[in-house]
C-alpha cells in the first residue's frame, strides 16, 4: 500500500476543528474513499492513579496533558501500513477507558486536536497542516454550549477553566502554532471554499 496522506487539523477549543474534520470525512465517505479520523483528545493521558480532585485540577490545555509519544508511535505505525490500538478517553472521569479500538491504516488519515501543531517533533509526521482560525469569543460561546450539553459541566466551571487555563494556554501554545500551518482557515468548520481546496488537494494526492 502507498504511504497514507496524513492531515493535521488544529486550532482553539471550539474553533470548529471537529466540524471541519466531519465535513471532510463525509465528503470522502460519500465517494467511497476510506478515510480514518483520529482525535488528539483520545490521547489525553490516563489518570487512573490520581484521585478525582487532582484530575479536576489538571491543566488539560498544556501539551504535556497528552501522550504525544503514543500518538507519534501510532502515526509511524500507520505510515508503515500497520494497525494501531486507538485509545478512548472519558471527559467525565478524566481518564482513559479500559478498551482500545483496533484501527487499520487508510489511504487518508485526518487528525484533529488543539496541540497538534504545537509540538515541533510531531510536525514531520504530517503531510498537510491546517489551522482553523476562529475568534476566541466565538470559540468560548461554542464551548460553553458543548461542554454543558456533552461533557457534563456547569456554566461556572466552563467559565473558570476558560479564565484559568484555556485562554492563557491558547496564547502560549496554540496561537503561535498557527505559523507552522500550510493553510489557515478563517470562519471555522463550514468554510466551503477552504473545504473544497483541501478536498481537491487530497483527491490529487490520491491519484
Interacting residues toward ligand UZR by CB under 6 A: 13-14, 41, 44, 60-61, 91, 94, 114, 161, 165-166
- CA 80-82-88 angle, 5° bins: 120
Strands 95-103 and 84-90: antiparallel
**Three-state SS for 205?**
helix
68 binds, among Mg ion, ligand UZR, none (CB under 5 to 8 A by kind): none
Nearest residue to the partner ligand UZR, using Cβ: 13
Smallest gap from Cβ 87 to ligand UZR, in A, equals 13
Residue with C-alpha cell 488539560?
A: 60
18 binds Mg ion (CB under 5 A): yes
Contact partner, 66, from Mg ion, ligand UZR, none, Cβ < 5-8 Å per class: none
**Cβ proximity to Mg ion, 105 vs 166, nearer residue:** 166
Q: Residue 95's Cα: distance from chain center in Å?
A: 17
* Contact between residue 173 and residue 66 where contact means Cβ atoms under 8 Å apart: no
Task: Provide the minimum distance between the beta carbon of 77 and Mg ion in the complex, in angstroms, as a whole number.
Answer: 24
Q: Which does 23 bind (CB under 5 to 8 A by kind): Mg ion, ligand UZR, none?
A: none
Whichever of 122 and 139 has its CB closer to Mg ion, that residue is: 139
142 binds, among Mg ion, ligand UZR, none (CB under 5 to 8 A by kind): none
Give whichever of 18 and 177 is closer to Mg ion, judged by the CB atom: 18
Interface with Mg ion, residue 161, by CB under 5 A: no
Q: Are 174 and 118 in contact (CB under 8 A)?
A: yes
Is 126 or 170 the residue whose CB approaches ligand UZR more closely?
170
Binding partner at 166 among Mg ion, ligand UZR, none, C-beta below 5 to 8 Å by kind: ligand UZR
Please answer whether residues 10 and 17 qualify as being in contact, where contact means their C-beta atoms are separated by less than 8 angstroms.
yes
Taking the C-alpha atoms of residue 143 and residue 138, their distance in angstroms, rounded to an integer, is 9
DSSP annotation string for 5-54? EEEEEEESTTSSHHHHHHHHHHHHHHTT--EEEEEGGGGBPP-TTS-HHH
Amino acid at each position: 500500500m502507498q504511504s497514507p496522506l496524513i492531515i493535521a487539523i488544529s486550532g482553539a477549543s471550539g474553533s470548529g476543528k471537529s466540524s471541519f474534520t466531519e465535513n471532510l470525512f463525509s465528503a470522502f465517505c460519500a465517494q467511497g474513499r476510506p478515510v480514518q479520523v483520529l482525535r488528539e483528545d483520545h490521547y489525553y493521558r490516563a489518570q487512573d492513579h490520581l484521585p478525582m480532585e487532582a484530575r479536576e485540577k489538571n491543566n488539560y490545555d498544556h501539551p504535556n496533558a497528552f501522550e504525544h509519544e503514543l500518538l507519534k508511535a501510532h502515526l509511524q505505525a500507520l505510515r508503515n501500513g500497520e494497525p494501531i490500538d486507538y485509545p478512548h478517553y472519558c471527559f467525565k472521569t478524566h481518564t482513559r477507558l479500559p478498551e482500545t479500538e483496533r484501527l487499520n491504516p487508510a489511504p487518508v488519515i485526518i487528525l484533529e486536536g488543539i496541540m497538534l501543531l504545537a509540538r515541533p517533533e510531531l510536525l514531520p509526521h504530517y503531510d498537510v497542516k491546517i489551522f482553523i482560525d476562529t475568534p476566541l469569543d466565538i470559540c468560548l460561546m461554542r464551548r460553553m454550549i458543548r461542554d454543558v450539553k456533552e461533557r457534563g459541566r456547569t456554566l461556572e466551571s466552563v467559565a473558570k477553566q476558560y479564565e484559568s487555563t484555556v485562554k492563557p494556554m491558547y496564547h502560549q501554545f496554540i496561537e503561535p502554532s498557527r505559523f507552522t500551518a500550510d493553510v489557515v482557515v478563517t470562519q471555522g468548520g463550514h468554510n466551503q471554499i477552504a473545504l473544497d481546496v483541501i478536498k481537491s488537494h487530497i483527491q490529487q494526492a490520491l491519484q
